[in-house]
Structure 1
Amino acid sequence: MAISSWDEFPVHQSPDWIRHAGTTDRNFYDRNYFCMHGSSDELFAIFGMGQYPNLGVQDAFCCIRRGDKHHVVRGSRPLTDRMDMSVGPMRIEVIEPLKKVRYIVEPNEHSIAMDVTWDASIRAMEEPNQYIRSEGRVVFNTQRFAQLGRWEGTLSVGGEDFAVTPDRWGGARDRSWGIRPVGEPEGDGIRQGINVMSGMWNYFPMMFDDHAILYMNNEADDGTRRLVEGKRVWVDGRPDEDLGRSEHEHTFESGTRVLTHSTISFPEAGIEIDCQPLLVNFVSVGTGYGMDADWRHGMYQGPGLVVQGKVLDVDTEVKPIGQYGVVDHVGRYTYDGNVGYGLYEHGFFGPFHRYGMTDGAAGAP
């Protein structure tokens, strides 16, 4: 059925029903990402939900690092009404657009249950469009907004209960949509051997007492920068500050692609930030971000609802493969007497000679 509840609202962007995207590209998607931490190394929760109109799929996940365990609950179902933001025990409620959002994982047979509400600390920030064309085909054309905020509610993982209070529980979120590889793998054709997202990915949204800094850098092995951002955003509404070109110095756990420390500087603004990861969550494993052959974002799992859970050992089952995908940490950031926390996200794909990764498998020295 094409008509849905969304068609009651003046939000159409094409002559078609809202159920149908304005493009027939199979890789069109529309997703939420959230992360939550206690400004410490006690646990790191990452959760999200996505719709894939041209694949006919909606899925969701919640992934929590606690101690030496990697907990995952994930679900998938056929996409029906796009206003229905639920997949099995997981659902999103938009309480106040761009300000207050609730994410729920109802109690289930797996190891995670959660009911938390997000309250934004800064306005939603429009991020640069990511556009990558490879051998004639557009493989990335995405739009995204980002935000930092505080969480409140309850969380249970592995039989432990946590009271989530906004005095110390914070995090980041983003909403993104557009085109990027999703669903079942496609044949590479002329792009055989080409990693369209090669190089270094840094994404460090950080929250301080009265301001946030958003740093992003997608840098190719030859030093070309394809997507960058460096911005300071004030809570009181003062004009945003463009911090200029960024520079990075990263330190790795030897033999891996996992960062242990970073220094990010903005020479034009006179800012140098010490970046310390507190707890890593290898979010690429078990959640759909491409490391599991049987579960990818938008992959068809069957004609009905499918809900699965996993509890994996971080060092033996997750890290060996997870380090080659997107890696998320709770980050502590300090500069000029300011101390803040946020997402410390990185990925190194293919060779990156500056840090000694000479091919797609090599870790840093």
Structure 2
Amino acid sequence: MDQLDGDAGADPTAAQAHPVSGDWAYEADGYFEEQYPLSPLDDHLIHQTPDPIRVAATTDPRFFERHWNIFHDQAGELLIATGGSFYPNLDTAEAYAIVTCRGVQRSVRAFRRIGANRGSIHVGPIRPTIVAGMREWRHELDAREHGLAYDLTWRDSHRQMYRAAYGSLENGNPPGGQRHVTAGFESFGTVGGWVEFEGERFTLDPGTARGTRDRHWGIGRGVGGPRFQSDGKPPKAGWIGGVWIAFRDFAIWGPIVLYRYGDSRARYGKVRKVDRRFRFEPVTQVFAEAVIDFTLDNGDMKRVHFEKLGQQTAFMTCGLYGGSPDRSIWQGDAQPDGTVQGDRHDLTDPDIRIALRGLDEHHCRITCDGEVSTGLLQPLEPDAFLACERDEKGWAFL
């Protein structure tokens, strides 16, 4: 390497233009626009293909990287859902924060171009930071103009395991298309810090406050709305029945059983069978109560009683699942760089619940084998009601 000290051709301002700091690996400067397709992460020895990191291995516009997180107290007063997505082939980044407090929901959505910097996952006022991969995140929000702010530390408590869902070439949609793959991992954990809601500050104690999260990537269902669907119809927001519950001895995340770090049992287990009995609100057809039997791969059957806590729900249409509340924006839709949106909904109004229902995350009191805690149930509504009405296998009214 040539010695630059004293070189007449050296730029004396170079050191000032390129300061070295603890954030250097994650903070791209303006020069990276002219270094496309390179980015700061390409200086790390982490490549898996000949392409640079910011180049996706597929040209499918629905390719995404996504984080999703939901936090809650144990009292049924505070529920936070937040997440964000990168769509590299669309050069679009989006994020949302939804906070429901005592039956009132406030939401913030933010949008930007991804640009050269794949290390920073901040989008507008929504600022998650990976402190330690698969162990600790910091979530910050400063959107006081929309009545929301928080500073929360998340720590994983359960062992994450890689999973992938592969589509079928034989049943491809459309026929002849490559199979779609969504992959990633999930976890449970604790959360601590503070939340401001309409000027009132709440404290979350990591000894009691908890939640769940996932990190998924691949070909995203619903990305781009109707224009990216083979039938041209609005895509469904998700599956009919999601569940996230953690007890002392086991935790269920959808179709799998997770265990805490260091648990001597199998790395993870599977839910072999689910039998649901639901009670719904009579007018809205939104979930109110359920008894669900989970048959696990070790032969155990866990019967869990779910009771929704007031109107403590995060309606995920406000996070673009199934489209925005007015169906004008879908996941991956480009908005003007720097766009920030906010809304407020009184969930005690049944008309509001009908207008927002879709993929909905309900904070519930949960009971199993005499242990009482709180957790989350996520039906697709009103599809869950209709599945019970049709008496589909595994679905019935309570």
> TM-score scaled to structure 1, two decimals?
0.85
The question of 1:356 aligning with 2:389 is answered yes
Change (3 A) 1:354 1:183: closer
1:222 aligns to what? none
Distance 1:322 1:230, change over 3 A: same
CA-based RMSD:
2.7
Where does residue 124 of structure 2 map in the other structure? 88
Deviations 1:176-226 (A, max 9, x none): 11112313540655x25696778x5222121223x332152xxxxxxxxxx
Name the amino acid aligned to 2:134.
Answer: L
The equivalent residue for 1:212 is 250
1:326 equivalent in alignment to 2:378 = no
Deviations 1:241-265 (A, max 9, x none): 4453222222211243421112221
1:1-365 equivalence runs, <5 A: 1-80=36-115, 81-129=117-165, 131=167, 133-136=172-175, 137=177, 140-180=180-220, 181-183=222-224, 185-186=226-227, 188=229, 191=231, 201-209=240-248, 211-216=249-254, 229-231=255-257, 233-234=259-260, 236-240=262-266, 241-267=269-295, 268-278=299-309, 279-292=311-324, 293-302=327-336, 304-314=337-347, 315=349, 318-323=352-357, 325-348=358-381, 354-356=387-389
Distance 1:197 1:310 in 2: 20
What amino acid is aligned across from residue 198 of structure 2 in structure 1? G
More strand by share: 1
* 8 Å contact from structure 2 (residues 243, 378) kept in 1: yes
Which structure's residues are more often helix, by fraction? 2
| 1:103 CA drift (Å) | 0.8
Further displaced range: 107-116 or 30-39: 107-116
Deviates more, 1:155-164 or 1:314-323: 314-323
Structure 2 unaligned spans of 5+: 1-35, 392-396
Are the equivalent residues in 2 in contact too, given 1:287–1:296 (CA < 8 A)? no
Judged with a 3 Å threshold, the aligned counterparts in structure 2 of structure 1 residues 42 and 48 are, in CA distance, closer, same or farther, namely same
CA deviation after TM superposition for structure 1 residue 357, in Å: 5.9
Q: Which amino acid aligns with 2:174?
A: E
State the Cα distance separating 1:9 from its structure 2 match.
1.7
Matched-pair contact (CA < 8 Å) for 1:64–1:281 = no
Please say if residues 103 and 312 of structure 2, whose CA atoms lie closer than 8 Å, have aligned partners that are also in contact. no
- Structure 1 residues 34, 353: CA separation in 2 closer, same or farther (over 3 Å shift)? closer
Q: How far, CA to CA, are the matches of 2:86 and 2:351 in structure 1?
A: 29
- Letter of the 2:73 partner, please give it: G
Identity %: 25
Q: What letter matches 2:214 in structure 1? A: D
Distance 1:263 1:130 in 2: 31
Aligned counterpart, 1:221: none
Distance 2:290 2:112 in 1: 40
Aligned residues: 343
1:333 Cα shift?
A: 1.9
Partner amino acid, structure 2, of 1:356: E
Counterpart of 1:106 in structure 2: which amino acid?
A: D
In structure 2, how many angstroms separate the alpha carbons of the residues matched to 1:31 and 1:152? Answer: 22
Q: Indicate the structure (1 or 2) with the bigger Cα radius of gyration.
A: 2
Deviation at 1:111, TM superposition (A): 1.0
Q: Which runs of 5+ in 1 are unaligned?
A: 217-228, 359-363
What is the deviation of 1:307? 1.4
Q: Deviations over 1:36-94 (max 9, x none)?
A: 11012212110111100011111111111123422011110011111111111111111
